């Protein structure tokens, strides 16, 4: 008899959420290292043969490494989902049915949040555009890189940890705890700051606010991708302290509390305000949808 939809092997949802963290870190790091070693062997050979521009090939290294890291994450999540939770991977929230609005909300929210922040800093004189560097192939690679980044982080935190916490406790408490874990996963990022970490926590709340009502991943996936892609490759900020190949080259001056400094826009008070406003907005949107479904 097929047991895939039977009761979980471990009854407590909170325990399932905690138990996956260490294996996730081990799997992801192992696959990232494997991807980096293999990409170095392949890409260095291409650089030596002058087959392509070095900056393009460097971006290809990042893509190759991130792809392997995402494979590691999907593998450990599949193992836990299949053998501990005894569910299918699609049950984590990958159903596309009636989720067009969620994808649109996510893409618009991420791009608008970063665009508004960029505009305010520019108008205020804290940001100066120094160059426009259009490289279509690098932009295409950046799209793929940040698709993998969003999938990697969302499938573990919002797809697995958050719903398992929700099985054991109030959904708002589950959202807070999952956001704390999301924050902890970013503690070793370059140039990390207190305000940056605070904003990572707020981002975790924002990314999970739709999931606690819909149990679907497409809103956080779209938002996470859009936020990172427009923050780094388009508008030229660091992404959680990490530099990327950018369309717009810019310089930042002024108080780091306002600008975010070397951690990027995510380390700014401006990001705190915009994230908080967005959390409130999407809480009202999804709460209203949830109320309508309960009345239907």
Residue 94 CA to residue 92 CA, distance in Å, equals 6
Strand partners, 132: 248
Residue-wise pLDDT for 150-176, tens only, equals: 999 999 999 999 999 999 999 999 999
Asked if 54 and 245 count as a contact pair (C-beta separation under 8 A), the reply is no
Least confident range of 25-29, 149-153, 255-259 = 255-259
DSSP 3-state of 9 = coil
Domain edges within the chain: 93-295
Model pTM score: 0.92
Q: 30: exposed, middle or buried (C-beta count within 10 Å: 0-12, 13-18, 19+)?
A: middle
Residue 249 near residue 236, CB atoms below 8 Å: yes
CA distance 212 to 284: 13
**Maximum C-alpha span of the chain:** 67
Q: Which residue in the block uniquely carries the two structure tokens 């209203």? A: 288
Q: What is the pLDDT of residues 85-105, one digit of tens each?
A: 999 999 999 999 989 999 999
60-67: average pLDDT? 90
Return the pLDDT at 1.
38
pLDDT value at residue 220: 97
Q: Per residue in 190-247, pLDDT tens?
A: 888 999 999 999 999 999 999 999 999 999 999 999 999 999 999 999 888 788 788 9
* pLDDT-wise least confident of 36-45, 81-90, 106-115: 36-45
Question: At which residue do the structure tokens 């497409």 appear?
Answer: 218
Average pLDDT score over the chain: 91
């Amino acid at each position: 008899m097929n047991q895939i939809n039977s009761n979980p092997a471990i009854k407590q949802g909170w325990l399932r959420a905690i138990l996956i963290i260490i294996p996730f870190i081990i799997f992801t790091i192992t696959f990232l290292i494997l991807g980096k070693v293999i990409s170095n062997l392949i890409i260095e050979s291409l650089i030596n043969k002058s087959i392509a521009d070095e900056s393009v090939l460097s971006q290809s290294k990042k893509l190759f490494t991130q792809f392997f890291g995402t494979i590691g994450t999907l593998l450990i999540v599949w193992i836990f989902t299949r053998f501990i939770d005894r569910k299918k991977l699609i049950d984590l929230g990958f159903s596309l049915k009636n989720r067009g609005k969620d994808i649109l909300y996510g893409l618009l929210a991420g791009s608008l949040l970063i665009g508004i922040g960029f505009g305010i800093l520019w108008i205020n004189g804290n940001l100066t555009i120094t160059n426009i560097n259009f490289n279509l192939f690098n932009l295409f690679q950046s799209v793929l890189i940040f698709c993998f980044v969003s999938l990697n982080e969302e499938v573990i935190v919002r797809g697995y940890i958050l719903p398992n916490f929700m099985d054991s406790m109030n959904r708002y408490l589950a959202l807070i705890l999952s956001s704390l874990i999301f924050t902890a996963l970013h503690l070793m990022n370059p140039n990390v700051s207190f305000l940056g970490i605070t904003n990572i926590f707020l981002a975790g709340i924002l990314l999970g606010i739709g999931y606690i009502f819909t149990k679907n991943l497409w809103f956080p996936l779209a938002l996470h991708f859009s936020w990172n892609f427009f923050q780094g490759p388009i508008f030229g900020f660091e992404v959680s302290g990490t530099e990327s190949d950018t369309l717009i080259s810019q310089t930042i001056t002024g108080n780091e509390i306002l600008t975010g400094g070397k951690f990027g826009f995510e380390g700014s008070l401006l990001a705190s305000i915009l994230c908080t406003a967005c959390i409130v907005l999407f809480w009202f949107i999804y709460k209203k949808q949830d109320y309508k479904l309960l009345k239907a």
